[in-house]
């Protein structure tokens, strides 16, 4: 039931992001010259690396889920033997990758503000920060969820099916956030 509830909740989140995409494309259609001017400032190579980090974090998250499904909470070998990593190690790595993504977004925001692209400056700035900012808030929410799952694994005396379900549900959310970012990245950085 938890997984079904999560999928229903993610459907509502999908509608939220669909509305953001609709607003983005509507405002872009009204002032295409503003978009052409401002997209030239975007650092596409940097954003591509940041996107790659986030997308790869989906892989590490799923490897953590596979470990949880096996009942393997912690690693059973050396730290550098990735094949023997458990849920904790994969989720910690996923957390770090997500945090690096957020840090990259913050760095990009600082550069864009320096270039004069701000929320009050133009409709482009408004839509850029609204879409990427709400996505960043969702990534931050996912990072908090990872901390809760990790905390539970350290506090619980025994790894249970419920903990595995928690890891699976958090992975649904994380994969969703990654897929939304792929759409945002293509829309904002690649479509001219």
Q: Kindly report, residue by residue over 123-164, the tens digit of the pLDDT.
A: 999 999 999 999 999 999 999 999 999 998 888 777 777 788
Q: Which two tokens stand for residue 116?
A: 């004069």
Contact of 135 with 94, CB cutoff 8 Å = no
| 52 vs 68: CA distance, rounded Å | 25
Kindly report the CATH number assigned to the domain that includes residue 8. 1.20.120.80
| 65 vs 86: CA distance, rounded Å | 9
Number of domains forming the structure of the chain: 1
Mean pLDDT, consecutive 10-residue stretches, the chain (192 aa), reads 78 89 91 89 96 97 93 77 86 97 97 94 92 95 95 83 87 94 94 81
């Amino acid at each position: 039931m938890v997984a079904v509830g999560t999928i229903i909740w993610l459907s509502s989140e999908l509608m939220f992001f669909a509305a953001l995409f609709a607003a983005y494309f509507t405002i872009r259609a009204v002032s295409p010259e503003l978009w052409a001017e401002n997209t030239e400032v975007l650092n596409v190579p940097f954003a591509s690396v940041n996107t790659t980090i986030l997308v790869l974090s989906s892989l590490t998250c799923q490897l953590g889920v596979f470990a949880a499904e096996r009942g393997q909470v912690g690693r059973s070998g050396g730290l550098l033997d990735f094949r023997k990593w458990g849920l904790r190690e994969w989720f910690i790595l996923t957390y770090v990758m997500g945090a690096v993504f957020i840090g990259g977004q913050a760095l990009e925001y600082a550069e864009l503000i320096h270039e004069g692209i701000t929320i009050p400056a133009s409709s482009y700035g408004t839509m850029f920060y609204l879409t990427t900012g709400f996505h960043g808030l969702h990534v931050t929410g996912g990072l908090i969820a990872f901390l809760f799952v990790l905390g539970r694994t350290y506090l619980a005396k025994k790894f249970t099916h419920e903990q595995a379900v928690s890891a699976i549900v958090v992975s649904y959310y994380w994969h969703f956030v990654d897929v939304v970012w792929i759409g945002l990245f293509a829309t904002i950085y690649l479509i001219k």
